[in-house]
Amino acid sequence: MLQISLHNAAKRYNKDWIFKDLNYTFEMGKHYALIGNNGSGKSTLLQIIAGYINLSKGSITWDQHDTQNIYKQISLAAPYLELIEEFTTIEQFEFHEQFKPFRKDLTVNQMIEMIGLKNATHKQIRYFSSGMKQRLKLALAIFSEAPILLLDEPCSNLDKEGYALYHSLIKQYALHKLIIVGSNDALEYDYCNECVNLLDYKVVGNNS
């Protein structure tokens, strides 16, 4: 069974520790919420799990997968991830699919229609509202075949209808995955089995 394990994990920027001595195992098929106030390290930890940045101390292991290829098993949606503004919606889907295949039971056009962007299929992303961009980011991550789904503030810029769409997509297409959500909004992670409060791993002072 696929697992992601953190061993005495710690991260600091300059002299300030974001978190320290974090030991935890995330298991396939379970859903986890990373909680804690702003600056507690939610986004940082998600990027470490995704392999984007390194730990300052400790280690992370992705069971059954080597470090060089783990990116193929992970999809991530986050406010700081950029879309290619010059692409149209369908071009962004086609570009993404070159690196991570989508579900085989849906066509790209069906996915676009499902997230309410049918009328924007051939519209450049630069003309999208922030909510439209977030719908697109969620679709690219959730519809990917990758078994690990990382979500950082998944409902950023979404209205009430967008929240409903998010929960519908998770329920229909993602509950079989290992999901890790970084959020302070309980409505974004109300389906999660476990919560990891990063304040429990906060370092008081600048301990070496």
Task: Calculate the CA 200 to chain-centre distance.
Answer: 22
Which of 124, 117, 122 is CA-nearest to residue 138? 117
- CA–CA distance, 126 with 87 (Å, rounded to integer): 8
Rounded to 10 degrees, what is the CA torsion of 45, 48, 53, 55?
80
**Contact in structure between 30 and 175 (CB atoms under 8 Å):** no
Percent of the chain scoring above 70 in pLDDT: 95
**Contact in structure between 32 and 181 (CB atoms under 8 Å):** yes
Stretch 170-195: mean pLDDT: 97
- CA–CA distance, 63 with 117 (Å, rounded to integer): 37
For residue range 74-118, what is the model confidence (pLDDT) as tens digits? 999 999 999 999 999 999 999 999 999 999 999 999 999 999 999
**Contact in structure between 23 and 60 (CB atoms under 8 Å):** no
Stretch 8-32: mean pLDDT: 94
Prediction pTM value: 0.94
Which of 102, 176, 193 is CA-nearest to residue 141? 102
CATH homologous superfamily of 3-201 = P-loop containing nucleotide triphosphate hydrolases (3.40.50.300)
**Contact in structure between 163 and 187 (CB atoms under 8 Å):** yes
- Greater confidence, 15 or 195? 195
